[in-house]
C-alpha cells in the first residue's frame, strides 16, 4: 500500500499470521495444515488492509498459502515415512542427513 505504515505494517502482518497459525489446532494432517495456513493468511491480510500494509484482500493469496502448506506438509510426511524407523531410507546417508537437518531446524526454532 502506498500510504500504509511501511515496514512496521509488514511486521504486524507477519506477526499476526504466525500467531494465528500457531494458535490453531489441526496441524499434522495435510488438510489441517492447509486450513491453518488459509485462516492465518486471511487473518494476516485482514490486519494488513486495516493498517494500510496491504492494498486489498486477495483470496488468490489465501489459496496459494493453503496449497503451498499442503504440499510442504505432504512432502514432509512422505520424507518422514521414508527416513523414519522402518522406512526404506532409514540408516542411509539421505536418511541420516534428513534427520540431522530436521533436528537442527527444530532446535533453531525452539531456541530463537
For residue 59, is pLDDT > 90?
yes
Asked whether 58 and 64 are in contact (CB, 8 A), the reply is no
Give the cell for residue 41: 493468511
- Taking phi over 0 as left and psi of -120 to 50 as alpha, with beta for the rest, 40 belongs to alpha
At which residue does the C-alpha cell 494488513 appear?
Answer: 48
| Average pLDDT score, the chain | 77
Give the cell for residue 53: 500494509
For residue 108, is pLDDT > 90?
no
pLDDT 10s digits, 3-50: 556 688 888 888 898 888 888 886 678 888 889 989 999 999 999 999
Tell if the pTM clears 0.75, that is, is over it.
no
What is the per-residue pLDDT for 112? 45
- In angstroms, the CA 33 to CA 77 distance is 12
DSSP alpha helices (H): ranges in the chain? 6-23, 30-51, 59-83, 93-111
Amino acid at each position: 500500500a502506498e500510504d500504509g505504515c511501511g515496514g512496521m505494517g509488514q511486521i504486524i502482518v507477519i506477526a499476526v499470521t504466525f500467531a494465528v497459525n500457531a494458535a490453531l489446532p489441526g496441524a499434522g494432517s495435510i488438510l489441517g495444515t492447509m486450513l491453518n495456513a488459509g485462516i492465518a493468511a486471511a487473518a494476516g491480510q485482514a490486519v494488513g488492509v486495516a493498517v494500510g500494509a496491504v492494498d486489498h484482500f486477495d483470496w488468490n493469496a489465501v489459496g496459494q498459502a493453503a496449497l503451498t502448506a499442503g504440499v510442504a506438509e505432504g512432502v514432509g510426511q512422505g520424507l518422514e515415512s521414508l527416513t523414519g524407523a522402518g522406512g526404506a531410507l532409514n540408516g542411509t546417508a539421505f536418511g541420516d542427513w534428513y534427520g540431522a537437518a530436521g533436528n537442527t531446524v527444530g532446535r533453531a526454532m525452539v531456541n530463537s
